[in-house]
Amino acid sequence: MEVGKVPESVLKRSVFKQIRTKRKEVLLHPGIGEDCAALKLADDEVFVMSTDPITGTTQEIGTFAVHITANDLASAGAEPVGILLTVLLPDGCEEQELKDMMAQIEAECHELNIEIIGGHTEVTRAVTQPVVTVTGVGKAKEGRVISTGGAKPGQDIVVTKWIGLEGTAIIARAREEALRTRYSRDFVEKAKDCIRYLSVVPDARAALEAGVSAMHDVTEGGIFGAFWEMASASGVGLTVDLKKVPIRQETVEVCEFFDLNPYQLISSGSMLMACDRGYDVVEALKKAGIEAAVVGKFTDSHDKIIHYDENETRYLEPPKTDELYKAVP
């Protein structure tokens, strides 16, 4: 495709034809010449919005794009309703790549009941690989919005599923050939399959019903970054037993192969929560089919302490560059 706005014929067959999921809240749907979307919510509902670019991978970019934004909305206690897309494609990009990307996006939107409510698609020399920016719109009951900064001293720290899922999936796809020099095809496929755990929308839904005061999806900077961000936003300290933080063997092996710290690896698919009765929340999550663990407590000091084992304790440092970029430049 040539530089500039994507032609109308391409938009019709490779973008709009892929959009099938519809929501009753959407009054004005995407179409040629439509630059805005319109939504109607109930009187006791509020809008919750989030935006994110996807730049760390080109493989399954549509899948990552939907989940990253939907997870942000879910962590605020909101139900995702719609997304707006900005798709920037490099000069010479084939139409089939755009069509495949939109098919991925619609498949994930259908699974989560999200409507693609608008966007912009362009071929530009400003990028050397596809870049997707997603703005998500969600709804929540008034007074029920959850913040990252809602943790209180004495509350339990809960982590859902496993850390490092997103990073493991991205690295296994981008560096499959290198991994196959040590690991079997089955192992690498299991690592790539971590992509299926990316959504924390079910995690948030179950946790809200059980009772939580703060939630934060674990993204860039890994679980260490998420610990720091929630504690800092809440004005509290924390103490964590690292042995209790759930991690899959695939992530351990991939990080060992590339000499990465798994606790600083991008981790969409895992949710960090603060709650009064952590073990009750864990039980509720497990009843919903979601693994979870209590890994520590928030404290009334500003110290952020990580216990590695009985003999090693360290103070948590501010988030650093994500470990992903050491393996996938």
Of 109, 125, 141, which one is at a domain's C-terminal end?
141
* pLDDT band at residue 91 using 50, 70 and 90 as cut-offs: very high
pLDDT score, position 263: 98
Measured between alpha carbons, how far is 283 from 289 in angstroms, rounded to an integer?
Answer: 10
Share of residues in the chain with pLDDT > 70 (%):
100
Residues 157, 301: one domain?
Answer: yes
Q: Where are the beta strands (DSSP E) in the chain?
A: 4-5, 26-28, 38-39, 45-54, 79-90, 115-124, 131-141, 156-160, 214-217, 237-241, 271-275, 292-299, 304-309, 312-315
- pLDDT tens for residues 42-84? 999 999 999 988 877 777 899 999 999 999 999 999 999 999 9
User: Could you please report the per-residue DSSP string of 124-172?
Assistant: ETT-SS-EEEEEEEEEEETT---BGGG--TT-EEEEES-BTHHHHHHHH
Residues 260, 316: one domain?
Answer: yes
Least confident interval from 3-12, 120-129, 130-139, 277-286: 3-12
pLDDT score, position 138: 96
Residues 195, 96: one domain?
Answer: no
pLDDT score, position 329: 78
Residues 186, 261: one domain?
Answer: yes
How does the average pLDDT of the chain come out, rounded?
A: 94
User: If you average pLDDT over residues 212-236, what whole number do you get?
Assistant: 95
pTM of this structure: 0.88
Residues 93, 175: one domain?
Answer: no
pLDDT score, position 306: 97
CATH code for the domain in which residue 230 is found = 3.90.650.10
Residues 204, 288: one domain?
Answer: yes
Least confident interval from 18-27, 194-203, 229-238: 18-27
User: If you average pLDDT over residues 258-284, what whole number do you get?
Assistant: 97
Judge whether residue 33 has pLDDT over 80.
Answer: no
Of 106, 122, 141, which one is at a domain's C-terminal end?
141
User: If you average pLDDT over residues 150-176, what whole number do you get?
Assistant: 97
pLDDT score, position 36: 80
Backbone φ and ψ for 138, nearest 5 degrees, come out as -130, 175
Judge whether residue 207 has pLDDT over 90.
Answer: yes
Residues 172, 100: one domain?
Answer: no
pLDDT score, position 309: 84
Residues 249, 184: one domain?
Answer: yes
pLDDT score, position 150: 94
Residues 111, 15: one domain?
Answer: yes
pLDDT score, position 7: 85
Instruction: Give the count of alpha carbons within 13 A of 79, CB side only.
Output: 15
Full domain range(s) for residue 107: 4-141
Contact 164, 251 (CB under 8 A): yes
DSSP lists the bridge partners of residue 28 as 38
Among 17-26, 96-105, 124-133, 253-262, which range has the highest average pLDDT?
253-262
pLDDT score, position 59: 79
Unique residue bearing structure tokens 């010479």: 92
Of 86, 110, 141, which one is at a domain's C-terminal end?
141
Judge whether residue 35 has pLDDT over 90.
Answer: no
* pLDDT band at residue 213 using 50, 70 and 90 as cut-offs: very high
Q: Which two tokens stand for residue 325?
A: 């970029």
Share of residues in the chain with pLDDT > 90 (%):
83
User: If you average pLDDT over residues 237-264, what whole number do you get?
Assistant: 98
Instruction: Give the count of alpha carbons within 13 A of 125, CB side only.
Output: 2
Judge whether residue 248 has pLDDT over 80.
Answer: yes
Between strands 237-241 and 292-299, the pairing is antiparallel
Judge whether residue 5 has pLDDT over 80.
Answer: no
Residues 11, 57: one domain?
Answer: yes
- Number of folded domains that form the chain: 2
Q: Name which residue leads in pLDDT, 200 or 17.
A: 200
Measured between alpha carbons, how far is 204 from 231 in angstroms, rounded to an integer?
Answer: 19
Measured between alpha carbons, how far is 57 from 68 in angstroms, rounded to an integer?
Answer: 13
Residues 245, 132: one domain?
Answer: no
Residues 178, 318: one domain?
Answer: yes
Instruction: Give the count of alpha carbons within 13 A of 171, CB side only.
Output: 31
